[in-house]
Amino acid sequence: MKIPYLLSIITWLPALGALVVLFLFNKGQTGALKRFATAWFALDFVASLALLGYDRGLGGFQFLEDAQWIPVVGARYQMGVDGVAVLLILLTTLLGWIASLSSWEYIEKRQKEYYVLLLLLQTSVLGVFCAADLFLFFLFFEVSLVPMYFLIGIWGGERRLYAAIKFFLYTLVGSVGLLLGLIKLYFLTQDASLVSTIAPATKSLIAGNGPALALLNSSFAAAQGAGTGTFNIMFMQSLGSVLPMGTMQVILFFAFALGFAIKVPMWPFHTWLPDAHVEAPTAGSVILAGILLKLGTYGFYRFNLPLFPKASIDQSYFGSFGVRNVMIILALISIIYGALAAMYFVVKRDGDVKKLVAYSSVSSMGVVMLGLFSLNPNGLDGAVLHMINHGIYSGALFLLVGIIYERRHTRAVN
């Protein structure tokens, strides 16, 4: 049985918990506060298990929701998930619960504010994976930056402000490219000739998925009625198939890639990650490595590959070098550089083991990117599998480091 508004329940349940913590708990109620927050994260995880009812035979977007939101620009509150998003949502709710448990002994100051931010962070990340509207995706993608900034900046180590500001500025730069690319795509959806060409093909592609077809039709009807474009992700993915290969598609590809590559992070945009991990509290590192890095790889999977397919497979641009080869080389450099940097912190006896795990994440996410740009089914399946693998083992490693630090009061490799 499908639960109505399941994705909204999963997404907004942590935000509701944050409001409860904010207004109904006093600062002296630390024990009750911890128990409530942990139970609330567990409740969200249990709710997300309903997504296991995803119909793999049907495929495509399921558990769809649609409501009017900002009609003046054609943005709608549209939720929907495919099989990849289901896995990432389950990973997010599980690690959120574990991060809450790991905070019981570690967080001693401003506990009320801490749990409010942790719950809001979970809502923003879940919104990224549930969004079926590009504007809604962008909003959640950017909002996730704010709670993480404060988690590092308030509860981090000695250089927490430096790490938090560096994290904020890097991500903000990437967001500019993503926003500009989003705006350009939106204007393309206002082109009547493009819409008339793409709409029948898009509807034919998802003809077997009645709810997805209904959602797409409502997007078209609302856009035509208001004289606006649409941010519907299914339509925009089809838009990529008719965009001619040329400078504009390459620029749009790299505009989106900048925003996602910084989040992954790929070399040479990785330098914020070791500082953020070293200074972040244990739960912050678990969420950062286990979930937030996946926002970047998910962005490549959801947008760069389907929106700009000609650029993604291109091997003739840049003097016959090709856009795809640029991404493959950056992924390979990330793999090798991340591994060598991690080895350095093993050899260096006073090296911080958190940096070791951070650089290993750069290498691991390079493997994911290599799988995505292999552009074959096995590579894509492997990339998705490794996203889940990395989320589990990197979160476990940072938990282990936190436990050792609480007992030995050092993270030096000696």
In a domain, 413, yes or no: no
Return the structure tokens found at 357. 């795990």
In a domain, 414, yes or no: no
CA pair distance 160, 162, nearest whole angstrom: 5
Taking the mean position of all CA atoms in its chain, how far away is CA 96?
14
In a domain, 139, yes or no: yes
Please tell me whether the overall predicted TM-score, pTM, comes out greater than 0.85 for this model. yes
In a domain, 10, yes or no: yes
In a domain, 328, yes or no: yes
Q: How many domains would you assign to the chain?
A: 1
List the chain pLDDT tens, one digit each, 414 residues: 577 889 999 999 999 999 998 888 887 777 788 888 899 999 999 999 999 988 888 877 888 888 888 878 778 898 989 889 999 999 999 999 998 988 877 777 788 888 999 999 999 999 999 998 889 999 999 999 999 999 998 887 788 889 899 988 998 888 898 999 888 888 877 765 566 666 565 655 555 555 666 666 666 555 555 566 778 787 777 776 666 666 778 888 888 999 999 998 898 888 888 888 888 888 888 898 889 899 999 999 988 888 887 777 766 666 567 778 888 899 999 999 998 888 877 666 557 788 888 888 899 999 999 999 888 889 999 999 999 999 999 889 888 888 887 787 777 766
In a domain, 313, yes or no: yes
In a domain, 392, yes or no: yes
Range of the domain at 11: 6-408
CA pair distance 252, 244, nearest whole angstrom: 12
In a domain, 250, yes or no: yes
